[in-house]
């Protein structure tokens, strides 16, 4: 954890950086692939609406030892020609949901279910939801979602700029498509809890996106007055500075949601928890991904098409090329100086033995002469034994 904290500080200070914006084509390709899979899942399976949207009846039995598979097989054919969804609740009772039933049909189906399961009819509670009420709920949910998206776009356009608003809208649609696609593939029912989960994840996704956009707005105020960084460079720095914060926020939010999904929905069998927890789990993950890999790169790509940003990029690239040439020339000069110094050292090394030889030859001359002088007889010894004075 200490290493993660150190990495977060280094990212925030700009000491290390990952090129999210420069590698945006990789993220776009991955998102397009996942989105296509989600759309295919929607087209093939469709969304399984709960009775809150389609209308129908929910039958709740008393506590029983009958398993879900046994109950499904026993009531098969006695649900008015419609598919039934059976769930085991934490209390040990069964929840049987049949969509598209009228009030008269639900009474007959209740009798058939009681007979199939071997229970008194008064031990099975029936809750009827009319189809007109379900359609009204569907209409209100879609209407609320559209109003939410419109207000978000207007707010972001006023607070930041239209490019950021467009990028945030694309990221939100990306999250919605993936979440609904997972619902279609898994086969979970779309209930009011699902709508609540979708609206919640949109808020979380926008939170991370707005944090990055706010930092980007501050960092790019006077971007055209300098020649060191392009707009994409500044966008990438802003993204890296908030990366660890976004990851920590998402992980902390996913922990209780995972508990709801895998413990509350999986072990305890709470159907409503499954609906809202799956939307939150998938949506939070997709929202964190889109705020990092989709929204900011899209803003940078759109912004780079602006004439002022194109001119800035040309200046920055020209400056970098000039700096690279200067560095290369300086490196060549250093190499030349090093070569000259090496050549001088080699000449000194070659001259040293020759000088030593000359010195040696000069030293040998006096030495030989001295030895010859020592071998010759002394002049004084020639007159020894002779009388001094003149000859007569």
Q: Of the candidates 171, 203, 167, which has an alpha carbon nearest to the alpha carbon of residue 280?
A: 203
8 A C-beta contact, residue 252 and residue 132: no
| Pick from 349, 46, 323: nearest CA to 180 | 46
| In the predicted structure, residue 312 carries a pLDDT above the cut 80 | yes
320-375 pLDDT, tens digit per residue, is 888 888 888 888 777 777 766 666 666 665 555 555 554 444 444 444 444 444 44
Contacts of 165 (CB under 8 A, 6+ apart): 152, 153, 154, 156, 157
Phi/psi at 220 (nearest 5 deg)?
Answer: -105, 20
Q: In angstroms, rounded to a whole number, what is the distance separating the alpha carbons of residues 121 and 300?
A: 64
Q: Would the pLDDT of 78 be above 50?
A: yes
Q: Residue ranges of the domains in the chain? A: 19-50+133-315, 56-129
Q: How confident is the model at residue 38 (pLDDT cuts 50, 70, 90)?
A: very high
- Please name the residue that has the structure tokens 């050549």: 343
- What does residue 242 show for φ and ψ, rounded to 5 degrees? -110, 10
Q: Which CATH class name applies to 19-50+133-315?
A: mainly alpha
The DSSP result for 120-167, as a single string, is -GGGSEEEEE-HHHHHHHHHHHHHHHHHHHHHHHHHHHHHS-HHHHHH
- CA distance from start to end of the chain: 126
CATH class label, 56-129: alpha beta
CA 378, chain centre distance (Å): 106
Pair 156, 165: CB distance under 8 Å: yes
pLDDT digit string (tens) for 191-202? 777 877 887 887
Map tokens 């598209």 to a residue: 100
* Residue 295, C-beta contacts closer than 8 angstroms, at least 6 positions apart: 164, 167, 168, 170, 171, 209, 212, 213
Query: Which of 55-64, 157-166, 348-357 has the weakest average pLDDT?
Result: 348-357
> At 4, is the pLDDT very low, low, confident or very high (cuts 50, 70, 90)?
low
Q: What is the DSSP string of 244-269?
A: HHHHHHHHHHHHHHHIIIIIIIIIS-
Residue 229 is given by DSSP the state -
């Amino acid at each position: 954890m200490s290493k993660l904290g150190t990495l977060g500080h280094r990212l925030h200070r700009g000491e290390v950086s990952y090129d999210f914006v420069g590698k945006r084509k990789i993220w776009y390709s991955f998102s397009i692939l996942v989105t296509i899979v989600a759309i295919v899942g929607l087209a093939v399976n469709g969304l399984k609406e709960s009775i809150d949207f389609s209308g129908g009846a929910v039958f709740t039995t008393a506590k029983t030892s009958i398993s879900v598979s046994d109950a499904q097989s026993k009531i098969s054919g006695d649900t008015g020609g419609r598919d039934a969804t059976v769930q085991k609740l934490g209390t040990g009772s069964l929840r049987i949901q049949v969509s598209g039933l009228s009030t008269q049909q639900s009474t007959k189906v209740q009798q058939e279910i009681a007979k199939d399961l071997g229970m008194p009819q008064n031990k099975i509670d029936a809750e009827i939801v009319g189809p007109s009420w379900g359609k009204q709920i569907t209409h209100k949910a879609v209407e609320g979602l559209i109003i939410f998206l419109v207000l978000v776009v207007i707010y972001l356009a006023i607070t930041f700029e239209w490019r950021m608003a467009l990028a945030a809208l694309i990221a939100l649609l990306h999250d919605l498509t993936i979440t609904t696609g997972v619902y279609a593939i898994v086969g979970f029912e779309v209930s009011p809890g699902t709508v609540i989960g979708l609206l919640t994840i949109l808020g979380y996704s926008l939170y991370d996106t707005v944090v990055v956009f706010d930092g980007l707005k501050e960092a790019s105020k006077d971007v055209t007055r300098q020649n060191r960084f392009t707009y994409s460079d500044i966008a990438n720095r802003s993204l890296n500075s908030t990366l660890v914060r976004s990851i920590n926020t998402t992980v902390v939010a996913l922990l209780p949601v995972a508990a709801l999904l895998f413990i509350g929905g999986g072990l305890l069998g709470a159907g409503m928890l499954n609906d809202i927890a799956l939307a939150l789990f998938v949506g939070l993950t997709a929202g964190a991904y889109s705020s990092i890999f989709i929204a900011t790169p899209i803003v940078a790509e759109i912004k780079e098409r602006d004439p002022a940003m194109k001119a800035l990029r040309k200046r920055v690239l020209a400056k970098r090329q000039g700096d690279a040439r200067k560095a290369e020339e300086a490196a060549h000069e250093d190499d030349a100086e090093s070569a000259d110094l090496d050549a001088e050292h080699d000449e000194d090394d070659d001259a040293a033995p020759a000088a030593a030889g000359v010195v040696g030859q000069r030293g040998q001359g006096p030495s030989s002469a001295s030895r010859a002088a020592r071998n010759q007889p002394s002049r004084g010894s020639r007159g020894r034994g002779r009388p001094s004075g003149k000859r007569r």
